[in-house]
Structure 1
Amino acid sequence: MGLCNTPLRLRRIAASVTAVAAAFALAGCGSLIGRSQAEDIAEINVSSPELRDGKPLPRDYSCQGTQGSPPLRWSSQPLSKAKSIAIVVDSHTSSEAAVHWVLYNIPATTTELGPNAAADPPEGSGQAKVTSGRVGYDAPCRTPGSYRFTVYTLDGKVDPEKGSTLPEILKQIADQTIARGRLTAVDIE
């Protein structure tokens, strides 16, 4: 190929890269946590009395508010292998991606968390150090952006070693996921 064909070649490469990225995203591999290696991922219905899917995150649950983590509810088909629940809150803005909260080892029988559960998590659960370096709910600040509240049912418990990093904990969650559901807020009110 000569230099005169370079723009065409670059467009083809860009189209190929875009197609591969889209395929990964559609397969669930485009998020911070990725898709579990489980054969079947069941669906979890995630809702909140304070959040609406596709609507703005209420200011009270952002860095400008004082409410802490929002209340969440979830339901799915009965899963006999369920051993625990994990919640991951992450964001994607035009300039960065971040994890705002990781709560794991929630008892498998739990189906909801009240407001500010990060301040008083369920007994036996743990919270990871998030992107900012804080432990607990690090309220989102940036707008525009999307804020994903993802609930995972796991077939085991997360067992981080002392000093485990965020990616290590997220990998344990991904490797044990048997069901997943998400509620996404877009921007902040």
Structure 2
Amino acid sequence: MAFDYDPYKFLPELPTFEVTSADFAEGEEWKLPQASGAFGIPGGGDVSPQLSWSGFPAETKSFVVTVFDPDAPTASGFWHWAVANIPATVTEVPSGAGTPGAPGLPESAVTLRHDGGAHGFIGAAPPAGHGYHRYIVAVHALDVDVLDGVTPDSSPAFLGFNVFGHAIARGLLTGTYEVA
């Protein structure tokens, strides 16, 4: 099954910057640590990938990191991770930073609930036979230090609405996963 929906196509075009990961390359399939044991993938670890970013605008004041599956069999996709208020001095997060209580995110960072209902990162778990799903890692550079009103209980959609008014650049990195 081929998918081509681009969730960023309908948003304003922004300057881009580079996002990389030691755990996967652009278009590459995620490995078991990034799959979801919580959602039934045998050996899945629900471990957020290592991420680094560079080349963002000098006037950046903070970052937002999200992981979104636009190919989930819902009308709204599936949010796997959403973190706001990462200071502009932070340009990388280690593998596993999305696990609640794990080191790797600055104290100021606000981790929202993923679409599975818990805080932190939830790994890939597309339905068996549904084909490859894309996991779009987006890092947004913002013109504010803090997104007022965004709390751990905010939805990723609410976060996105707030990012819309403050994003000055966007970096994307897409992984895939399939359950045969």
* Length-normalised TM-score, structure 2: 0.77
Identity within the alignment, % = 25
Equivalent residue in structure 2 for 1:148, among 120, 136, 147: 136
Which runs of no fewer than 5 residues in structure 2 stay unpaired? Answer: none
- Deviation of 1:168 (Å): 1.6
- Deviation of 1:43 (Å): 1.0
* Structural mapping, 1:1-189, within 5 Å: 25=6, 28-29=9-10, 35-36=11-12, 41-63=14-36, 64=41, 65-66=44-45, 68-80=47-59, 82-93=60-71, 95-96=73-74, 97-119=77-99, 120=102, 121-142=105-126, 143-156=131-144, 157-160=146-149, 163-188=153-178
Which runs of no fewer than 5 residues in structure 1 stay unpaired? Answer: 1-21, 30-34
- Deviation of 1:133 (Å): 1.5
How many residues align structurally?
Answer: 158
Task: State the Cα RMSD in Å.
Answer: 2.4
Q: Which has the higher helix share?
A: 1
Aligned to 1:9: none
- Deviation of 1:164 (Å): 3.3
- Deviation of 1:177 (Å): 0.6
Deviations 1:12-51 (A, max 9, x none): xxxxxxxxxx9x959721xxxxx25xxx722110101111
- Deviation of 1:150 (Å): 0.7
Cα pair distance change 1:141/1:94, threshold 3 Å: closer
